[in-house]
Amino acid sequence: MAEPYCTDCKRQTEVVMDHASGDTVCLECGLVLEAHTIDEKSEWRTFADDSGDHDPNRVGARTNPLLADAPLTTSISRRPGKGGKGGDDGDLVSSALGRWRNGHDPNRNLVAAFGSIADMAERLGLVGTIKDRACEIFKRVEDRKSSKGKNQTAVFAACLYIACRQEDRPCTFKEICSVAHGVTMKEFGQAKNFIEKQLKIEMGKSLEMGAIHAGDFLRRFCSHLGMNNKEVKAAQEAVQKSEELDIRYKVFGVGETKECLRRCKEHQVQRIPVSVAAAIIYMITQLSDDKKLLRDISLATGVAEGTIRNAYKDLYPHAAKLIPTSYAKEEDLRNLCRL
């Protein structure tokens, strides 16, 4: 950076900044070259107390419209007494204020719940819109005061599952339960049904959730297995073909529940979307040089090996219609294993 020009010295000179007054002063003649300068750099002075917190931020978190009086609340930190006259009294007053604030904070439970939901969403790699939708769903349930006595972790997980469905990014039950520590599939299913019932009462109609398709899981599963772009593209085309031809399964707006299986049997439908996705992935990998074991696909998709095997047997007679000709030749399809 070039040195400033001093009009008295008639040349460029060294200057010094007086931070107290904001003046830029020439070191040689003392002329004030610039007055009341505004420093636009970040301020790293800490405004915290003596508790060891050195956060330089002057403001709190962004406004959350789901919290009561969110833009108007003020948090007063507890500042320990420093000894001397009045030190103990200040410490006592601050402690009493902290106890009063914790007992009267209407957002305390919501903030904790939103934090748990955000933690689950982060571990699943979900985008912010899904996390915000899940928080909104929980707030609506919480406002009805109907979730008391329920397993709160299961309720958080169910809110996240419903949010994923509404944002067209469905997750399987096992994926959600993997980040909801201590929650069983049964507890999760009960929480999900409970929330759907509460929202139905609130809205006066059934909760709208997008239908689940095998293609919704495909790219995620392929990524877990380390499949290349050619294999992923072939699997996507095969899934799309299976839906167009309506081969051996039907798409319902329900998850992997007993109700889904019951409806499948009534309609003579044998496979749900996630098992079809797993079976097609297995079929594609058997036609590639990098063959995947059934056990590896089961671990990546969360579908039991037996379920994948049965779905594969259902799809095998239609392999010539499903597999793109650009990926496998007719001779390769004839050599495809039958399981």
pLDDT at 305 over 80: yes
The token pair at 16 is: 């010094």
Query: Taking phi first (over 0 means left), then psi (-120 to 50 degrees means alpha), and beta for anything else, what does residue 276 get?
Result: alpha
The token pair at 271 is: 């496979």
Asked if 117 and 160 touch (Cβ cutoff 8 Å), the reply is: yes
Burial class for 301, CB neighbours closer than 10 Å (0-12, 13-18, 19+) = buried
Q: What is the mean pLDDT of residues 270-274?
A: 75
Q: Which has the higher per-residue pLDDT, 207 or 15? A: 15
Q: What is the mean pLDDT of residues 275-291?
A: 92
How many Å apart are CA 239 and CA 277, to the nearest integer?
Answer: 7
Q: What is the mean pLDDT of residues 304-327?
A: 90
Which tens digit of pLDDT belongs to each residue from 149-202? 788 999 999 999 999 998 888 888 888 999 998 889 899 999 999 998 888 877
DSSP class of residue 276? H
Secondary structure (3-state) at 286: helix
Asked if 273 and 212 touch (Cβ cutoff 8 Å), the reply is: yes
Alpha-carbon separation of residue 167 from 6, 29, 130, 208, 256 (angstroms): 62, 67, 7, 11, 18
Nearest 5°: CA angle at 296, between 295 and 298? 65
What share of the chain in percent tops pLDDT 70? 72
The token pair at 68 is: 């009561």
- CB neighbourhood size of 135 (10 A): 24
**pLDDT of the residue at 263:** 46
Global pTM reads: 0.65
**pLDDT of the residue at 86:** 47
The total number of residues written for the chain in this structure: 339
Alpha-carbon separation of residue 73 from 56, 69, 76, 105, 114 (angstroms): 20, 6, 10, 10, 18
